[in-house]
């Protein structure tokens, strides 16, 4: 698994920029990170328990806290702060961003939810 070498928060763009030692670089929007949080609140304890939230388009990251040498805790301005994002998970989110984003948009549409508040 590639190791994270650099993590930067671009507050103005609401983007988390992360670079890995294999050369991969990702720009992950706050909204995407929030709706893909690895927390039980979002993921549940089984795939059938997955929660989909609308109204997260303007969510911002207000802080990052390192968790050992393997993860970061992301603090969002909507109060969500329970997800521990391992570097492995962030790498997967970067690699799968296009597909996961479309799944999110499809899930919102199927539930009559919007990205806006």
pLDDT at position 88 is 96
pLDDT at position 48 is 86
28 contacts 90 by C-beta, under 8 angstroms: yes
Instruction: Record the pTM.
Output: 0.94
Query: In sequence order, what DSSP letters do the residues of 76-98 get, joined into one string?
Result: ETTS----EEEHHHHHHHHHTHH
Domains of the chain (ranges plus CATH)? 4-111 (3.30.2020.30)
The β-bridge partners of 15 are 10, 29
pLDDT tens digits, 10-24? 999 999 999 999 999
């Amino acid at each position: 698994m590639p190791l994270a070498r650099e993590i930067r928060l671009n507050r103005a763009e609401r983007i988390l920029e992360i670079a890995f030692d294999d050369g991969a670089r990702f720009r992950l929007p706050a909204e995407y990170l929030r709706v893909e949080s690895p927390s039980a609140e979002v993921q549940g304890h089984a795939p059938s328990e997955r929660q989909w939230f609308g109204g997260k388009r303007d969510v911002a990251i207000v802080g990052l806290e390192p968790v050992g040498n393997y993860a970061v805790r992301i603090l969002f301005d909507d109060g969500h702060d329970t997800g521990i994002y391992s570097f492995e998970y962030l790498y997967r989110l970067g690699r799968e961003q296009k597909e996961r984003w479309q799944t999110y948009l499809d899930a919102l549409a199927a539930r009559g939810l919007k990205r806006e508040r």
